[in-house]
Structure 1
Amino acid sequence: MLDSKQMITIKGTKDGLTLFIDEYSSFNDILDELSDKLSEYKPKRDEPIIPVTVKLGNRYLNDWQKERLNELISTKHCFSIHSFDSNVVHRDEALTWKEESEVKVVNRIVRSGQVLEYVGDLLLVGDVNPGGKVITTGNIFIMGNLFGIAHAGVKGDRDAVIAASFMKPNQLRIANYISRAPDYDSEGVYMECGLIDKEQDKIVIDRLQVLSRKRKDISGFERRMLNG
C-alpha cells in the first residue's frame, strides 16, 4: 500500500523496478520528490540498464509529462522506463480501442472491383465474388462464399484468421503473409479457416474447429459459423 506521506514509492522486482506514483499529488511535486530520490542513487561503472515500470493508478499522463519523467529517470542513471501502467485512458485512446475491438457486422455482397475495408473484426453475411476484396485489421468471418481476396491483420496482426462457409479464394493474406495456390483445394472447401502456422511459417487452411484450440479468444465466432 502506498505511504500517504510519500508521493513516490520504488520497489525492486525480478524484472527491474516498479515506480508507484501517488495519483493525488501535483505533477511538479512528483518530479521534485523523484529527483531527490534518484539523487541518492550512484550507479556503478558499466552497470546494466534497469527497466522501470511506472504505476499511475487513476492518474493520466499526457505525452509531455511522460517525456519529462523519462528524461528525469534516464538522465545520469542506469534506468529506462519500460512501460506506463494506468487505470485511465484518454478519450481518443478509448475510442480507438473501441473501434479496433468492435465486431463489424455487414450484410452485403462484395462484387468484382469492390473493396470492403474495416478496422477491427468483420463478420460479413454475404459473398465475396471473384475480383472483390475484403480488408481488416482484425479477423475476417464470412457467412457465405469467399471467391475473391481476403486480407486480415493488415497492420501486422499475425494471429488474425480468415474463415468462410465456403472457401475458394483468389488469394488469402494475413499480416504480410500471402497464401499460395497449393494451400487450399482447387475445388474449394466448406467451413474452413486460414491462419498462420508459425512452425511452417506460412498460411495454412484447416478445419474451423481448430480455432477453439489455436485461437481461444475467438471461439465464440467459431460457434456462430458452425451453428449459423
Structure 2
Amino acid sequence: MHDTKQLITIKGTRDGLTLFIDDTCSFDEAFKELREKLLANQPQKKEPCVPVTIKLGNRFLREEEKDSLSNLIKEENRFTIQSIESEVIAKSEALSLMEDSEVKTINRIVRSGQVLEVTGDLLLIGDVNPGGSVISTGNIYIMGSLHGVAHAGVKGDRSAIIAASYMNPSQLRIAEYISRAPDYESDGVYMECGLIDEEQDKIIIDRLQVLAHRRKSINRFERRINNG
C-alpha cells in the first residue's frame, strides 16, 4: 500500500496559519484536499477569525481560482485570507514590472512649459530649464542643470531619489512629498541629490555619496548602465 502524497501542508505561526499548496497537482485536487483540511481544523465559533497565508510555490492561479479559494476560506470556515503568494506571475505583470524598472535615457533640453514624463528611472542628458518639468515613476538622474520641477516616485515610491549635476530646482517632489526653494541653497549646488529623510519627514538635499549607504537599490541602476 502506497502512501498518498500530501497536497496541502498547514503550519501554525504566531500570525495565524500558513497553507502550502503542492504545485505539481491539479487545482481541483488541491482544492478538494484543502476543503477537507480546513473543515477538520475549523476553530470554534466563539474564537476570532484566524488569518491565513497561502503559499502556492510555482503555481499561477487565475482570478476565478483565487475567488474559489477565497470563498472556501472566508465563507465556509472561520478563517480570513492574509495573502496569496506565488513564485510566478502573469506575462502582463512581468512586462509591467520590467517597464517600471527600466532606465529611460533621453538626450534633450526640457524647456519652459515642457513636461517630460516616463515610466521607470529617467536618465536625462541635458538641462531642465526654469518652467520645465520632469516626472518619473522611479528615480531621476540629470546629467545637467536642474532649474525647473522634478517629481520622482510619482506613483508613491518614497525610496526614489533625484540627482543632478547642478541642483537649483524651483521644486522637488518625491512621492507625495514637496520641497520648495526655502528648503535648500538658493544659489544651487553641484553633484547633489534630493531624497526623503524619514526621521525629518521631508525631502533633504545631500551629497551623492550618501546614496551608496542610504539607497541600496541604486546599485541596480549602475548594473543596467554597465550592461547597456
Assess same fold via TM > 0.5.
Answer: yes
SS at match of 2:84: strand
1:162 maps to what in 2? 162
Following superposition, the deviation at residue 210 of structure 1 comes to 1.1
Following superposition, the deviation at residue 85 of structure 1 comes to 2.1
1:99 maps to what in 2? 99
Q: C-alpha offsets along residues 105-146 of structure 1, whole Å, 9 cap, x if unaligned?
A: 111111111111111111111111111110011110111100
Q: TM-score, normalised by structure 1?
A: 0.90
1:109 maps to what in 2? 109
Paired amino acid for 2:78: C
**How many residue pairs are counted as aligned between the two chains?**
222
Distance in 2 between residues matched to 1:174 and 1:203, nearest whole Å: 7
Query: Sequence identity, in percent?
Result: 65
1:149 maps to what in 2? 149
SS at match of 2:28: helix
Following superposition, the deviation at residue 220 of structure 1 comes to 6.4
2:215 maps to what in 1? 215
Asked if the contact 1:208–1:222 (Cα under 8 Å) also holds between the matched residues in 2, the reply is no
Provide the aligned C-alpha RMSD in A: 2.0
SS at match of 1:89: coil
Greater CA drift, 121-130 or 40-49: 40-49
Distance in 1 between residues matched to 2:4 and 2:145, nearest whole Å: 62
Greater CA drift, 46-55 or 82-91: 46-55
Structure 1: segments with no counterpart, 5+ residues: none
Q: TM-score, normalised by structure 2?
A: 0.90
Distance in 2 between residues matched to 1:9 and 1:117, nearest whole Å: 47
Following superposition, the deviation at residue 219 of structure 1 comes to 4.4
Alignment of 1:191-210 (within 5 A): 191-210=191-210
Provide closer, same or farther for how the CA distance between residues 65 and 143 of structure 1 changes in structure 2, counting only shifts above 3 A. same
Distance in 2 between residues matched to 1:56 and 1:140, nearest whole Å: 36
